[in-house]
Amino acid sequence: MTAARTLFLIDGSSYIYRAYYAIRHLSSPAGFPTNALYGFTQMLLKVLKDRQPEHLAVVFDVGRKTFRTELYPDYKANRAAMPEDLVPQIAPIKEMVRAFAIPVLELEGFEADDIIGTIARDCEELGMRVVVVTGDKDLMQIVSDRVTLLDTMKDKVSGVAEVHERFGVAPEQVVDVLGLAGDTSDNIPGVPGIGEKTATKLLQEFGSLDELLARAAEVKGKNGERLREYADQARLSRQLATIDRRVPVAYRLDDFAVSRPDNRRLAELFKEFGFTTLLKELTSAATLSSESYRTIDNEEDLRSLVAELAAAVTFAVDLETTSLNPLEAEIVGISVSCRDHEASYIPVGHRYLGAPPQLSPATALAALAPLLTAADVRKVGQNIKYDYQVLRRAGVAMNGVWCDTMVASYLLNPVRSGHGLDSLAAEHLDHRMISYSEVTGTGKGQLNFAQVPVEKAAIYSCEDSDATWLLQRLFLPRLENAGLSRLFFELEMPLVPILAEMELAGVKLDLELLAGLSGRFGAQLAELEQEILALAPEPFNVNSPKQLGEILFDRLKLPAGRKTKTKTGWSTNVEELERLAEAGYAIAAYILQYRSLAKLKSTYTDALPKLVSPVTGRVHTSYNQTVTNTGRLSSSEPNLQNIPVRTEEGRTIRRAFVAEEGHLLLSADYSQIELRVLAHLSEDRVFCDAFARDEDIHTRTAAEVFGLFPEMVTAEMRRQAKTINFGVIYGQGAFSLAKELGVTTRVAKEFIDNYFTRHAGARAFLDGCIRTAEEKGYVTTLLGRKLPIPDIKSTNGNIRAFAQRNAINYPIQGSAADIIKAAMLRVAERLRREGLRSRLIMQVHDELVFEVPEDERLTMEQLVRHEMEHAVSLRVPLLVDVNCGKNWSEAH
């Protein structure tokens, strides 16, 4: 060891708790809690990456009994027991540290602080520097010219000057401050009535705690009395706060030298706990060989490749293009793979000085088109919808879309955070993919892919098709073993081309109407702002939650909700504002209106015109198959799922979605599909009977709950019954139902009890969903989709209750998602078979929207209703509301 070296000591126990409380609940695919483990691992990686230490160790507490508890049994007695879901994470955290090849230090009878203090003292004597990674202020007492503290969460370094700034005394006097002021977190009593500021002032005057206590008679008033009365307690408190820097801990400094982590063990841990992002970062080995990758740059080799692919019948394909937007992308190259560890790249659009001769796009596509369009030649891709769209625009309509590895991964693990090729290769192939930025660069100097050298592009693209091919070979047997093959091949994969065509079709917008709405919303916002400011005691920024909180709770003194104050200010979320508005505070009601309108303006009336494609003059959303846990499609850029339908402003925005000249928009919306699914799955006699008779289910429920004849049910009663019906699906309890209905919790509980008395079949089914989740870890949908419920056995009551609600909700929502997808397939097949010009352009929740030539209106109304109502066979009839109009609002 030399004097120039620095040792990093991580206060592991401090960071375990900080990570636990800093990160919302996380769990592994198996349901194991992982928030503290993940946060701790991230902290460790940050230290390794940012500080690149040469010497490092992690120190932990072990048990609560130490020499301090012998001195003072109440030491730390005020601390709650370790949270139940944190306890099982301790051992994996230490295992993770060891997998990083970092020593773990702990010693019975002593705290981590004592071990850190001892080693820091030893290193100082050897002339080394020490950086203690912690957020614990108690360790400031060991700071010196050679010992500093590092708080990675705040990215703050504390030396002697920072300690003096924090406590007003030198590091060695921090224990004197704590002896006087005590420490509530450790239950160190100190001197009653003396806080940190007073302690600092007294120590600055008298020099030390011992001197102060010896001259306590000179201190006037109450403080003097307290010092004389509690002198022994002050000395005890100082002793409790003092870090023991001569702990008998056995260690060798040479063992702290940073060495290569055990990547194999880390990969096992990352996989076990579902840390897919970390796994991708960790995997540094390129396990796929590029020896059998080749570049095709002449027609003879191209003909040979086509023959090879035709004989294989199945091949992976991957396009390299000039843009991520399929409406703008031009093909730069095409890679294919039909055998393990082999791939070919066909460059067709590389444009740079000195670029080698390449085949033209027309030549390459002409040769490949018979294979790409053949339904009996099976194509494999990663996010193959994109490749389909780019080829479609190039004049090649791909058929035989057989396997999308992204969709396969999603079906196997719907709760996985992402299904990108890089992370899938890292997890399943133990291979680190070449990143896009490694090929193109980043920032201002980033190349368009057309500018990337062919030889570099070939390896990158071949690797993509090779990895996709290999993943397909892994995933398909797993789908079969999991009983998911039918769902994959008969529902999800046939849906890919339909979604691709929907996205390419897009929808026309009335830009003039949107501009007018934006102006109108802007004027309304200005009026609302004036109303808000008129009710405020002083001007403030209405868009600032912090300033709003100060106005509402500090200046106006409005009643604050429980636990509403945070470190950054008062909470002004929707729940808080609704509480105040319901209590009659007009300013809160105006703010709710303001926020709702501002969101509509920024998200839709301002944003939608900017998303109109210059190529088509229409807006093109992206439909995502691999995002939600339940199988429902989501949409992005723009998100069409969130346009409100119940407010006038939302309906006005829908009026901006219009049909082309000579066309109409046709909206087909399933009626009460989730309740019908519940009736089918539960075989509840009352539900099934009501739907079979085509009764109004909400009126029927109201009559049952309130004990009335259906004719006596009022509109308000029906509204409450509707809330109850859908509340059951979401596992809503009496408290939240009471809040939504505006009744007492007792009344809400009576509603629920009466409901389940009548609907015994539904109750038995919902209880069975929870039992199934507890037994198997997942629930299933109508078509066999498996939806994991990883937290169903969580020791945290709130988390477990949320998981139970999901166990009830997922089979119903997931089955509804299955049905709408099946309907899309049936309608698309009819449109193709009958040669109609109508096209599906939007899918939103339980609704399909078509753009229909006026002369096909009657045909489409009948066709769509029939196919949607017969998408699956249920015990109760599926009903579809079909309407037409010049715009979406009219059609809906």
DSSP assignment of 516-579 equals HHHHHHHHHHHHHHHHHHHHSSS---TT-HHHHHIIIIIIS-PPPPTT-EETTEE---HHHHHH
Residues 6+ apart with CB under 8 A from 385: 404, 496, 497, 499, 500, 503
Q: Rounded CA gap, 201 and 186, in Å?
A: 23
Q: How far apart are alpha carbons 810 and 788 in whole angstroms?
A: 9
Q: CA-CA distance, 641 to 629, in Å (whole number)?
A: 16
Helix runs in 777-883, H state only = 797-834, 857-869
Per residue in 132-177, pLDDT (tens digit) is: 999 888 899 999 999 999 998 888 999 999 999 989 999 999 999 9
When pLDDT is averaged across residues 655-659 and rounded to a whole number, the result is 96
| pLDDT tens-digit readout, 663-674 | 999 999 999 999
pTM: 0.85
Pair of tokens at residue 298 = 């002449």
Tens of pLDDT along 295-337? 999 999 999 999 999 999 999 999 999 999 999 999 999 999 9
Residue with tokens 């996709």: 468
- What are the beta bridge partners of residue 404? 381
| 787 membership: H or E segment, kind and range | strand 786-788
Structure tokens at 679: 């009736």
Q: Which of 655, 710, 664, 712 is nearest to 888 (CA)?
A: 655
What is the tens place of the pLDDT at every residue in 594-636?
999 999 999 999 999 999 999 899 999 999 999 999 999 999 9
Q: Which amino acid is at 131?
A: V
Query: What residue type is 6 in one-letter code?
Result: T
867 pLDDT band (50/70/90 cuts)?
very high
Give me the mean pLDDT over the 229-245 stretch. 91
- pLDDT at residue 464, rounded to an integer: 97
Indicate if the pLDDT at residue 3 is higher than 50. no
pLDDT at 752: 85
3-state secondary structure of 378: strand
**Pair of tokens at residue 187:** 């239950």
Is 634 in contact with 641 (CB distance < 8 Å)?
A: yes
Contact at 8 Å (CB) between 565 and 559? no
pLDDT digits (tens, 9 = 90+) for 734-780: 888 888 788 888 988 888 888 888 889 999 999 999 999 999 999 99
Other beta carbons within 10 Å of 659 = 25
DSSP 103-151: -EE--TBS-HHHHHHHHHHHHHHTT-EEEEE---GGGGGG--SSEEEEE
182: exposed, middle or buried (C-beta count within 10 Å: 0-12, 13-18, 19+)? buried
CB atoms within 10 A of CB 349: 20
For tokens 């004597």, the residue is 125
pLDDT of residue 43: 92
pLDDT, tens digit, 9 for 90 and up, residues 402-415: 999 999 999 999 98
285: pLDDT strictly greater than 70: no
Mean pLDDT calculated for residue range 235-247: 92
**Measured distance CA(608)–CA(530) in Å, rounded:** 27
Residue 445 neighbours by CB distance under 10 Å: 7
Report percent pLDDT > 90 for the chain. Answer: 66
Query: 137: number of CA atoms within 13 Å, CB side?
Result: 17
Six-digit token string for 736:
């939240």
Q: Please provide the DSSP assignment of 485-510 as one string.
A: HHHIIIIIHHHHHHHHHHHHH-BEE-
Residues 653 and 758: beta-carbon distance below 8 Å = no
d(CA 704, CA 699): 9
- The pLDDT score that the predictor gives to residue 283 is 61
User: Which phi and psi (to 5°) does residue 328 adopt?
Assistant: -115, -15
The separation between the first and the last C-alpha atoms of the chain, rounded to the nearest angstrom, is 76
Question: What's residue 567's pLDDT?
Answer: 57
Q: 67 falls in which pLDDT band (50, 70, 90)?
A: confident
Average pLDDT of the residues in 858-862: 97
Strand partners, 109: 66
Question: Residue 58: pLDDT above 90?
Answer: yes
What's the mean pLDDT in 488-517? 97
Least confident segment among 283-297, 309-323, 372-386? 283-297
What's the Cα-to-Cα distance from 518 to each of 104, 523, 601, 645, rounded to whole Å? 60, 9, 6, 18
Whether residue 638 is preceded by a cis peptide bond, meaning omega within 30 degrees of 0, is yes
How far apart CA 120 and CA 128 sit, in angstroms, is 9
Question: What crossing angle do the helices spanning 697-706 and 685-692 adopt, rounded to 10°?
Answer: 140
Strand pairing class (129-133; 6-11): parallel
Residues 189-214, mean pLDDT to the nearest whole number: 89
pLDDT at 571: 86
Yes or no: say if 421 and 472 are a contact pair by the CB < 8 Å rule. Answer: no
Q: Classify residue 156 as exposed, middle or buried by CB count within 10 Å of its CB (0-12, 13-18, 19+).
A: exposed
State the pLDDT confidence band at 1, using cuts at 50, 70 and 90.
very low
- State the Cα–Cα distance between residues 195 and 743, nearest whole angstrom: 47
Radius of gyration of the chain (CA): 33
Smallest CA-to-CA distance from 847 within 644, 680, 666, 675 is with 666
Higher-scoring residue by pLDDT: 740, 50: 50
Which residue from 94, 78, 264 is spatially nearest to 184, judged by alpha carbons? 78
Task: Please determine, for residue 497, whether its predicted confidence score (pLDDT) is greater than 80.
Answer: yes
The pLDDT of residue 569 is: 76
pLDDT of 562 > 80? The answer is no
* Gap between the Cα atoms of 750 and 171, Å rounded: 63
Whether pLDDT at 445 is above 50: yes
Measure the CA–CA gap between 337 and 474, rounded to whole angstroms.
Answer: 15
Please report the domains of the chain, with CATH numbers, ordered by start residue.
Answer: 6-256 (3.40.50.1010), 279-482 (3.30.420.10), 508-617 (1.20.1060.10), 681-811 (1.10.150.20)
